[in-house]
Structure 1
Amino acid sequence: MKFFKIIFGLLFMLFAYFQFNDPDATIWIFTYSAAALACYMSFNNLWPSWVFYGLAAGYLVASIFQWPPHFEGIFWGEAKMRSINIEEARESLGLLICCLAMVVLGKWGKPTVTD
């Protein structure tokens, strides 16, 4: 489980780094940094499981609201983006990845001491 926490913590930091060129970078850097912080806190057994479930619920709701009105996929053929729907689908997928990671941390990343 510690390997999962390290890998996803680094992955979320990488996600945050890739957001620097985004027009709404502040929101996404904070979003992915919060997920990386949660991995760190779970690695050190500093938060109870209900915190991770709360974060998972927040990420899930945000993912649903971020879903594009018309799904056009998450990949594109050319170097630039064809439409905003692709960007919104990718953002929604990123939030869903955060949600799933928080569920795993809440379920199997519990501290050895009782919450």
Structure 2
Amino acid sequence: MNITKIFYATWAVLFALFAYWQFNDPDPEVWVSTYVVAIIFCLLGFRGIFPKIPLAVLVVVCLVGAVYFWPESVSDWIVQELEQKNLSMKTPQMEEARETFGLMIIALVMLPGLIKAWKK
């Protein structure tokens, strides 16, 4: 198995876990759907299929969403996360910060596939 297949298989599993953890979210339909789309693109990447336009749209939408949800103070959010003993959401700002980083992760994971698609 080559590195591209391992990369996308690993991220498909991780995104499936992320989707599962979103079921108790205040708006699970948005975030479960978001991670399911990421899983689909990971499975396509696993098969060596990199659709240029859909990947570009996904990356741009995720980056725009991340900017929209960007926490006012990243350092305060990180301190809050490190100080708590569990992963429960304590404030709406923590939830938005987590959503921001989830979107950034999706964009970063999809970027290599987009670059591959663009080079073809």
Query: Which residue does the alignment assign to 2:64?
Result: 61
- Answer whether contact 1:39 1:105 (CA < 8 A) is retained: no
- Answer whether contact 2:45 2:113 (CA < 8 A) is retained: yes
Shift of 1:78: 4.6
Paired letter, 1:91 = E
Shift of 1:41: 1.4
- Answer whether contact 1:13 1:36 (CA < 8 A) is retained: yes
Q: Distance in 2 between matches of 1:77 and 1:37?
A: 33
RMSD of Structure 2 on Structure 1 (CA): 2.0
- Answer whether contact 1:9 1:39 (CA < 8 A) is retained: yes
Query: Which residue does the alignment assign to 2:112?
Result: 104
- Answer whether contact 2:15 2:38 (CA < 8 A) is retained: yes
Residues 1:52 and 2:55 aligned together? yes
SS in 1 for 2:17: helix
Residues 1:77 and 2:84 aligned together? yes
Superposed CA deviations along residues 73-104 of structure 1, whole A, max 9, x for unmatched, are 14151544332111111110000000101112
- Counterpart pick for 1:17 among 12, 16, 20: 20
> In the comparison of the two structures, how many residue pairs are matched?
111
- Answer whether contact 1:70 1:85 (CA < 8 A) is retained: no
Q: Are residues 81 and 43 of structure 1, via their aligned partners in 2, closer, same or farther at CA, if it must alter by over 3 Å?
A: closer
Any stretches of 5+ residues in structure 1 without a counterpart? Answer: none
Any stretches of 5+ residues in structure 2 without a counterpart? Answer: none
Q: TM-score, normalised by structure 1?
A: 0.83
* Larger helix proportion of the pair: 2
Query: Which residue does the alignment assign to 2:8?
Result: 5
Query: Which residue does the alignment assign to 1:91?
Result: 99
Superposed CA deviations along residues 1-33 of structure 1, whole A, max 9, x for unmatched, are 110010011111110000011110110000011
Paired letter, 1:83 = T
